[in-house]
Structure 1
Amino acid sequence: MLPLLHVHHIAIICRDYAVSKRFYTEVLGLEIIREAYRAERDSWKLDLALQGHYIIELFSFPAPPPRASRPEAAGLRHLAFAVADLDATVRELTTHGVASEPIRVDEFTGRRFTFIADPDGLPLEFYEG
């Protein structure tokens, strides 16, 4: 068995860097660790943290191809964030103009969850508890 410690980070490629940067920092509240422009690739790289823990690399590239997400395309299904109060999370998202799916209950755990889409349509889940 491999001696894995934890997930180090998740890489996301966005179409509109300014829009996605605003979404991940101002709407979701992730903290900027560092931001760099890589001229040779015409690419921005933004390292983001959640409560001080490095979690997301946000990249921009010129004209990235679209990635199928729904219905249930093969590959990464979604990114999930744990929240203490799902109702408060949905209210806060609404104040930023972000619509969520109806709240559902996980049939196995009894916990509540909902989904939103990031600016590029990547499904993001908020899971209570």
Structure 2
Amino acid sequence: MALPGVHGIHHIALICSDYQRSKRFYCDLLGGTVIAETYRALRKSYKLDIAFPGFELELFSFPAPPVRPSTPEAQGLRHLAIRVTDLAVAIDYLQQRQVVVEPVRIDELTGNRFTFFPDPDGLPLELVECPA
């Protein structure tokens, strides 16, 4: 039996080390649209809700958050994968903006082309080519 009523991911939540830098990365570079931005004074924390096609991202800031391992094989969140229709165009876009992108690989199970690049805190982000 499956969890009743599931029909997709609502949001993904990230805690960043530099709120303004991560806000620029996810909104200006990756093209997310701000839904809401809230400063929570008691927690000295921002919460930024960002819309992307098919999901939302919650970006949090906290004073001095602990560092977490972020390589793809570390425990916890392995990576966030983003569907793109043309991998070469997406890679070119990122590289023109000085984002380091790994060499393209082929998923041995699906045959999809994919690559990884880091967010400002080193969180592995994946681009997966899924033609429309």
TM range (shorter): over 0.9
Q: Give the equivalent residue in structure 2 for 1:111.
A: 112
Gaps of 5+ in 2: none
Contact 1:44 1:59 in 2 (8 A): yes
Report the CA distance between 1:113 and its aligned residue. 0.3
Mapping of residues 1-129 of structure 1, within 5 Å: 1-3=2-4, 4-51=6-53, 53-70=54-71, 72-129=73-130
**Distance in structure 1 (CA, Å) of the matches to 2:81 and 2:87:** 13
**Distance in structure 2 (CA, Å) of the matches to 1:5 and 1:106:** 25
**Distance in structure 2 (CA, Å) of the matches to 1:44 and 1:96:** 26
Amino acid at match of 2:79: H
Gaps of 5+ in 1: none
Aligned length: 128
Cα RMSD (Å): 1.1
Instruction: Normalising by structure 2, report the TM-score.
Output: 0.93
Secondary structure in 2 aligned to 1:75?
coil
**Distance in structure 2 (CA, Å) of the matches to 1:116 and 1:72:** 15
Secondary structure in 1 aligned to 2:127?
strand
Contact 1:46 1:59 in 2 (8 A): yes
**Distance in structure 2 (CA, Å) of the matches to 1:128 and 1:102:** 14
Name segments (4+ residues, structure 1) moved above 2 Å: none
Contact 2:9 2:55 in 1 (8 A): no
Contact 1:47 1:54 in 2 (8 A): no
Contact 2:71 2:123 in 1 (8 A): no
**Percent identity (aligned):** 57
